[in-house]
Structure 1
């Protein structure tokens, strides 16, 4: 499945590419980024210029780590061959990564705009007829949880407000809460991407809060919950409409939520595979540039950057003085951590991860 997206780019490129351009697409399909970059560069020098080749060349160079070249090629694509579907110069001005992948998504969203909008509006109307309770969903495939995951889930039960029910889910119990067409999940190999589909369908059905299992809550969480509870959709935002989805709040009658669900489902139902690790985030972002109602709702919604929520994770491998740990530990009402860390760091009691594990052992 991982090669299908790249072959689809070649399929929908300007028809009958020849010479170096064709070799570039073949190498891109094989994920041979170096060869693709060389062949695309040669094709461009030979005058074979269109939007798709510039952006494909940009993505190939980006995959090789040549970010300056990728940024230049993306800029040239938008200058020489601007998109007729959306304001591509503005979109890539906010965030420049994965150019051909995101452009393909934006084009898809524009081509199916009327269908997606109608689907979302109908889902919003149906959601208004349902009664939902305030719930926070946390998911881990099995009952075999790493220590940090156990500590995070314990913090959810400890610091969630009384009116917010914490619901623990796994691969066996998720079916009690939401029905997902298995065909949507069949071609998704990465557990993180399967989780993206699960969280979107859970919130579309029940509304509430999705917390990644590595979210550690603090005593100040009820204040944050009070803020987001006034919104019908909330994701921490890095820049523009570029977000994370590890902390995801939505009401089931949110247009943004239902449009996002409709877009992801239609993408998968049409046989298109997951294009890159952050494809879910790409769809969240590119809907902003292709749907006016979604953009207006976004611009009038709550904006919070997760800067402080990410500080603890950056500190897990560092040696910290007591006062530094105390400050980092309580700086944010929610902390996004990882359960994957260098085990050798546990041998030094002053590292962030050793301090965290020690707290868990003491029941803090």
Structure 2
């Protein structure tokens, strides 16, 4: 009963957030356009439950949503973007923290779900000579500077843990470079050549899905840069901080993706560097879809033939047996 009541309260809270976001978007665009973004957000919720089916009518609405939100950001923050100095000198980096692989589980891995623990173990197995650093509540201030006003807004409940995670990944890359991976990535191949051989990298599956403005051309849960290209993430981080200085709620759940897109729009070199990323990991989302099914070596070979990073989830339960046989999930949990 308590769980149901809590879920109902959460739904009401989310509806209230989206109504507020819609009104905010209308202030800088128009009510018909703002309502179109609301409709597209409903489409995304439906897609989350139907296996991400994207019929042409939905795709068209999603693309229009992105156009409207880019219009909103440019009308509200255009002067900030236009006056931003992308070429300003970067502060010196700490050589001891360059080229690391960054993952985060705020409570520490000892308190993480088993699937998260196995994912991080898989990243470590494939890290080569690179150190994998797990960011937690206890150690994050050793690696990044988070402004005091951000912490104050977090304590007030304005900035959420999710927002802080977004700021964390941008700040780590802006200050040190390296590779950021969400802690729910299962890795089945070496990371060195894939993510560290180019100045800028992200998982890239062109024209994949249109829930995000990224549309598969980059992915905020997998980002990397060398020391010389930290300026790109400094710019995105600074956009992020400017937003939260002037706002007390999130206008869109995938807001950071819009900020990455804006960096590319306002700086030609950033645009060229993102465009230069080669397509990779085309089946990134496919292992998740079969985790609860009977393990099949042929399916696994097909998935891992051209993909070595698989995005999973800790928010869903999976069986360890299906029709009396081990599932993909069971094999993963056994690290097999």
Please say whether Structure 1 and Structure 2 have the same fold, judged by a TM-score greater than 0.5: yes
1:9 aligns with 25
- Using the TM superposition, give the Cα deviation of residue 121 of structure 1 relative to its aligned residue in structure 2, in angstroms: 2.3
Does the C-alpha gap of structure 1 residues 347 and 129 become closer, same or farther in structure 2, counting only changes over 3 Å?
closer
Instruction: Please name the residue that 2:320 is paired with.
Output: 346
Partner of 1:208: 178
Q: Secondary structure at the match of 1:234?
A: strand
Of 158, 161, 166, the match for 1:196 = 166
**Structure number with larger C-alpha Rg:** 1
Aligned to 1:121: 87
User: Residues of 2 paired with 1:129 and 1:194: CA distance?
Assistant: 22
Contact 2:287 2:310 in 1 (8 A): yes
Among 287, 290, 293, the residue aligned to 1:315: 290
Q: Are positions 1:167 and 2:137 aligned together?
A: no
CA drift of 1:128 comes to 5.1
Conserved in 1, the CA contact under 8 Å of 2:150 and 2:159?
A: no
Looking at structure 1, the residues matched to 310 and 198 of structure 2 have their Cα atoms a distance apart, in angstroms, of 21
Secondary structure in 2 matching 1:179:
coil
State the shift of 1:189 in Å.
5.0
Alpha-carbon separation, structure 2, partners of 1:245 and 1:142: 21
**4+ residue runs of structure 1 moved beyond 6 angstroms?**
66-72
Query: Partners of 1:329 and 1:239 in 2: how far apart?
Result: 19
* CA 71–312 in structure 1, closer or farther in 2 if over 3 Å, else same: closer
Alpha-carbon contact 1:208-1:249 (below 8 Å) kept = yes
| Structure 2 segments unaligned to the other structure (5+ residues) | 1-15, 47-54, 208-212
Alpha-carbon separation, structure 1, partners of 2:179 and 2:30: 38
Q: Distance in 1 between matches of 2:281 and 2:255?
A: 20
Count of matched residue positions in the alignment of Structure 1 and Structure 2: 292
Work out the CA distance in 2 between the residues paired with 1:261 and 1:195. Answer: 12
* 1:5–1:275 CA contact under 8 A, matched in 2: yes
Structure 2 matches for 1:236-315, cutoff 5 A? Answer: 236-239=203-206, 242=214, 243-254=218-229, 255-271=231-247, 273-299=249-275, 301-315=276-290
- Partner of residue 72, structure 2: 104
Tell me how far apart the structure 1 counterparts of residues 204 and 320 of structure 2 sit (CA, whole Å): 32
Equivalent-residue separation in structure 1 for 2:135 and 2:128 (angstroms): 19
State the 1:355 CA deviation: 2.5
Shift of 1:205: 0.9
Report the alpha carbon displacement of residue 194 of structure 1 after superposing the two structures with TM: 2.0
Q: What CA distance in whole angstroms lies between the structure 1 residues aligned with 2:221 and 2:165? A: 10
- Structure 1 unpaired stretches of 5+: 14-50, 75-91
TM-score (normalizing by structure 2): 0.75
